[in-house]
Amino acid sequence: MERLTAEDQIMLWGDELWPQEIGALAILDGTSLLDPTGRVRIEVVRQAMEARLHLVPRFRQILQVPCRGLGRPLWIDAPAFDLADHVGVLPLPDPAGEAQLLIATERLRSQRLDRSRPLWQMWFLPGLPGRQVGMFVKMHHAVADGIAGVATVGAFLDAVPHRPGAPTPTWTPRPAPSARDLFVDNVAGRVTDLADTFSTLTHPVTIARHLRVGWSAARVLSAGQPTPDTSLNRRVGAHRTLALIRGSLDQIRPVAHAHDATVNDMLLAATAGGLRELLRGRGEPIDDLTLPVYVPATLRQPQGRDRARGNLVAQMVVPLPIGESDPGRRLARIATETAARKAEPHASVGSVLRSRLVRRALLKVLDSHPVNVTSADIPGPRRPLYLAGARLLEVFPVLPLIANVSLGVGGLSYADQFNITVVADRDAYPDLDILVMGMWNELRALTTYASGTARHPS
C-alpha cells in the first residue's frame, strides 16, 4: 500500500487556492518530430512513452483520499488509463515566437489537473521557427520535487537519437484496497509509530538531536525577523507571467568559484540584482534593504538521484542584500549566508510540520513574517538527450507559487546551459521586464564579459 509520505502530503496543502504543480518548458528539434505539413507525429511520441511507462508507476496511478479513520492519502492504480488523455498537441498561432510560446504555456499551466486521472500532462506546441517544437510537462508536486521531477521525465529520454524499440510491457491495474484493508493498514502504521516513539524515548541523546534539528528547521522557515514592507508582499492570484533567461555554465561556474560561491549563489545574486532594479524602478527605498527568499535544499544523496521519486527537501531562508550596490560584494555576502545555512542541521519539511500544533504555530509566524520570493537551482542532465528521436535543445523549470510568495525564480542546468525561468504573479509584477533586465545585467556584470556571450533574456 503506497501511502503519501509526510513530505508528499504537504504538497496538497493550499492546493485548492494555489495549484501546487511543478513543470518544465522545453524546446525540441522538430526535424524528425514533424511531418512535411508541420503536424506533430504524436502517435510516435505516445508509442515511445508507452514503452517506458512501467518505469514511472505514478504516471498510471491516481490519488485516493480515504475517509476519516482510514489513514493518509495513497496512490492506487487508475482503473483505466489512456495515454492520449495526458499527451497532447496545442499548435501555436502563426506566426509564433517565444512570446506566443509563453502565453500558451501559462494557459496550460493554469488548467487544473483532473484528480480522477493520474496527476500529470505533457503538451507539444508546434509552430516555432526552424521547425522547433515547444514541450510543456507538468505534474503535481505530491508526485515529485524538482530533482525527482527531472528523474521522472528523464525516464522517457535517451542519450542517443535512435534507440532500438523495446516491447511494451503489459499493464493490468491492481484493484484498489478495501475499506477494511485501509483500516488495518492505518492501525498497523499507528502501532509502528507508537513503537518508534517509545523506542526514541529511551534514548535521550536522540531526542535532543531531533528537537534541535526540528527547532532549527522551524526557526529557519519563519525567516527569523519581520519582512520589510514592500510592494512584493501581495496575496498570489490565479494568473502568472513567465520570462526566460538563457545562460551558460561555462560563464557562470568560473565566476562562482572565484567568489567561493556556487551556481545556486549566482542564481540568488541575479535574483537580488533584479529585485533591486524592480524596487528602485517603483520608487521604493532600497538602501540597507534585505529581503528573505525561500531556497529548498535537497536531502538526497548524489548517488541515485536519477531514480529519485517523491519529495525529500528541507527549506532554507536566505537574506538577499538588496541594498548592497556592488554585484561582487552582493554575491560574496550571499555565498557567506548560504554556506552558513547549509552548515546547520536540516530536517525535511514533512518531519518538521508533521505536528498539527507546530503547523498552526508556524502559519501564525508566517502571517507576520511573510516571505515573498522562492528560488530553486535544479541540476539537470549533463549531456544532450532525445525524446522519441527529437533532440532536447533547451529546458526551463516552472515553479509553483503559493500564499504571499508572488515570485519564483528557477534555474536548471542542462548540457552546458544554465537556463532560468521567472514565474511571477501577474498582478504583483506588471513590470516584470524590469526585474528580468536587472537579472540579466547582474549576470553580465558578474561574468564581466563585455561582449555578452550569453544571449539576451526574452
Q: What is the pLDDT of residue 304?
A: 77
Domain assignment present for residue 37? The answer is no
Q: What is the pLDDT of residues 1-21, one digit of tens each?
A: 899 998 899 899 888 889 999
CB-neighbour burial class of residue 441 (10 A; exposed 0-12, middle 13-18, buried 19+): middle
Average pLDDT, the chain: 88
Considering its fold, how many domains does the chain have in total? 1
Instruction: Find out whether 128 and 134 touch, Cβ atoms under 8 Å.
Output: yes
Q: Is residue 2 part of a domain?
A: no
What is the helix (H) or strand (E) element at residue 148, kind and residue range?
Answer: helix 146-154
User: How do residues 93-138 score in pLDDT, each as one tens digit?
Assistant: 988 999 999 999 999 999 999 999 999 999 999 999 999 999 999 9
* pLDDT value at 221 more than 70: no
Q: Which amino acid is at 235?
A: R
- Match 522551524 to its residue by C-alpha cell: 218
**Domain assignment of residue 345, yes or no:** yes
**Cα–Cα distance for residue pair 85/81, rounded to 1 Å:** 8
Residues near 150 by beta carbon (within 8 Å), at least 6 away in sequence: 378, 379, 380, 381, 412
Site of grid cell 502501532: 191
CA of residue 44 relative to chain centroid, distance: 28
Q: Which three cell numbers stand for residue 337?
A: 549566508
418 located within any domain:
yes
Is position 69 within any domain? no
150 part of a folded domain:
no
The residue-averaged pLDDT of 233-253 equals 95
Q: For the segment 323-336, what is each residue's pLDDT rounded down to a tens digit? A: 999 999 999 999 99
The residue with cell 526585474 is 435
Print burial letters for 272-283: b (CB count within 10 Å at least 16), e (below 16).
Answer: bbbbbbbbeeee
Range of the domain at 250: 232-377+407-447
- Would residue 352 count as lying in a domain? yes
Task: Let me know if residue 76 belongs to a domain.
Answer: no
| CA gyration radius, the chain | 23
User: What are the pLDDT digits (tens) for 43-72?
Assistant: 999 999 999 999 999 999 999 999 999 999
User: What's the pLDDT score for residue 450?
Assistant: 31
Predicted pLDDT at 349: 67
CATH number assigned to the domain comprising residue 413: 3.30.559.30
Q: Which residues pair with 137 in a beta bridge?
A: 24, 122
